[in-house]
Structure 1
Amino acid sequence: MSWTVAECRELAEESLDEMPARWKHVRAVAELVDSWSRKGLVSDVVVKAAWLHDVGYSRRVIRTGMHALDGARYLDLHGLDAEVIALVAHHTGAWAEAEERGLTGQLAVFDAPEERNLDALTLADLTRGPEGERVTVVERLAEIYTRYEEQHPVHRAVTRSGLGLQATAARAAKRLSQPM
């Protein structure tokens, strides 16, 4: 059975009910991606992944501490489409965080998603702040640096992947005719 966008939204809201700020961010990312979908610029798969991309932050879902991996595993247990799971697993430079945490092999269990889908999700994630506000990619990366100490795996991962994330966002912005 293929999950609908509405069912993905419900699962995300239920998973993040204890995290109002995270829910605002997720809702803003998903609403942006949904606007692209209505214009025929991205598929429903990307909209579903946008709703679900941060479920791995939920206390009920955390296993490794890497939200992309924990979220993908959780969604796999719920039988979501492979491409949605792949997008959640690999979104926004997850490869770098997996390397920092020694989880590369565990992330590799999930196939790489289609590049254009991953680019679109990454752009949306990097242009909506922690409370759902519109931000530039540079502002979002700076916010992540301030949220995590220098020694934290996320800080180290974003330091390593930041230029690549900016390039990914630029590629998606050009393809989607969006600001970044």
Structure 2
Amino acid sequence: MTSDFVTRARSLAARHLSSSPRRWAHVQGVAATAEIVAPVLHAEHSDEIVAACWLHDVGYAPDVAKTGFHPVDGATFAEGEGMPSLVVSLIAFHTGSVFEAQQRELLAELNAFAAPPRDVLDIVTYADMTTSPSGEPVSADERVAEILSRYDEDDPVFAAVSTSAPELLAAVARVDERLTVAQPR
């Protein structure tokens, strides 16, 4: 059963991101992955994980962006919309955001939010890092390469992803391992 806040997260994401078809396709793919993986690996927080995946990129929306750092802007927005604190923290800390916050000198803004448990955050990172910009499944290695290809070497995102890639890939590997254990072949 999907909670009211998951339905609301989906609606908010559609309202703020559907005018950007590529980003909207990515978000839909990330949420679809989370809807499959989260109940298997973390049933007790499945709804929070799925809601966070729907909203993980809402900070890119022009009407939501304030600092230009989408994890903080998205978390601030989600908090203002009354999302549960775990949803807010998952948005803030998704996909190696600590590394980009360091590059942008926005660690204080990021650390205004509580860090989520690693095993829960790993699922959000997994869903994001195994979904292409067009919403299709992709390997995490391909996703890292794709992200790096979009940015100049002096861009904070390039520097952050270059630095965080080992941790991002490790998070994906941890989830893959947990899935293997949870669903033996």
In 2, Cα distance between the equivalents of 1:107 and 1:3?
A: 27
In 2, Cα distance between the equivalents of 1:169 and 1:94?
A: 15
Q: CA deviation at 1:4?
A: 2.2
Q: CA deviation at 1:32?
A: 1.1
Question: Equivalent residue for 2:7?
Answer: 6
13-22 or 93-102: bigger deviation: 13-22
Question: Equivalent residue for 1:114?
Answer: 117
The gaps in structure 1 that reach 5 residues or longer are: none
Per the alignment, do residues 171 and 39 of structure 1 end up closer, same or farther by CA in structure 2, a change over 3 Å counting?
A: closer
Question: Equivalent residue for 1:58?
Answer: 61
Q: CA deviation at 1:153?
A: 0.5
Percent identity (aligned): 43
Aligned residues: 177
Q: CA deviation at 1:114?
A: 1.6
- Tell me, yes or no, if the aligned pair for 1:137 and 1:166 is still in contact at 8 Å: yes
Q: CA deviation at 1:168?
A: 1.2
- Tell me, yes or no, if the aligned pair for 2:129 and 2:139 is still in contact at 8 Å: yes
What amino acid is the match of 1:26?
V
Question: Equivalent residue for 1:160?
Answer: 163
Per-residue Cα deviation, 1:52-97 (whole angstroms, up to 9, x for no partner): 1110010111111111111001111111100000000000000000
TM-score by length of structure 1 reads: 0.94
What amino acid is the match of 1:86?
S
83-92 or 43-52: bigger deviation: 43-52
- Tell me, yes or no, if the aligned pair for 1:3 and 1:80 is still in contact at 8 Å: no
Q: CA deviation at 1:35?
A: 1.5
Question: Equivalent residue for 1:15?
Answer: 16
Question: Equivalent residue for 1:72?
Answer: 75
SS in 2 for 1:91: helix
SS in 2 for 1:132: coil
- Tell me, yes or no, if the aligned pair for 2:31 and 2:53 is still in contact at 8 Å: yes
Question: Equivalent residue for 1:44?
Answer: 47
In 2, Cα distance between the equivalents of 1:3 and 1:87?
A: 18
Q: CA deviation at 1:36?
A: 2.3
In 1, Cα distance between the equivalents of 2:47 and 2:175?
A: 17
2:81 maps to 1:86: no
More helix by share: 2
TM-score by length of structure 2 reads: 0.91
The gaps in structure 2 that reach 5 residues or longer are: none
Question: Equivalent residue for 2:154?
Answer: 151
